[in-house]
Amino acid sequence: MAHRYFVQYGLFKVTSKNLSVVLPEDLLAERTLMAVYPQPNEEARVCAEKLMAVFVSGALPVDWIEVERVASLPEYDVLEELLFMRDRVKKVIG
């Protein structure tokens, strides 16, 4: 039996028992972490920058205060890297 779940970004039809929805602020912090830890990872950096570009362009709304709060949590601790990436992406996309 399919279940329907409404989340902030749409309606999902799910046939499995579990559905995990990750907030965009958490996803960006996680992708930034993957780009730098345990060592720099070029493929993960490119992914994080593409996601960042979506947020910076406004294509998907994001709460930047929450992004910075999540990135500064001990589990991530990537605020400096995230801010550097955001500045770099802003310069590229104008």
- Taking the C-alpha atoms of residue 88 and residue 3, their distance in angstroms, rounded to an integer, is 41
pLDDT per position as a tens digit, 17-76: 666 678 899 999 999 999 999 999 999 999 999 999 999 999 998 999 999 999 999 999
Query: Residue 38: exposed, middle, or buried by beta-carbon count in 10 A (0-12, 13-18, 19+)?
Result: exposed
- Distance of alpha carbon 51 from alpha carbon 37, whole angstroms: 18
- CA atoms of 67 and 82, how far apart (whole Å): 9
Closest by Cα among 35, 37, 38, 39 to 88: 35
pLDDT digits (tens, 9 = 90+) for 59-89: 998 999 999 999 999 999 999 999 999 999 9
Tens of pLDDT along 4-19? 344 444 555 666 666 6
pLDDT for 20: 66
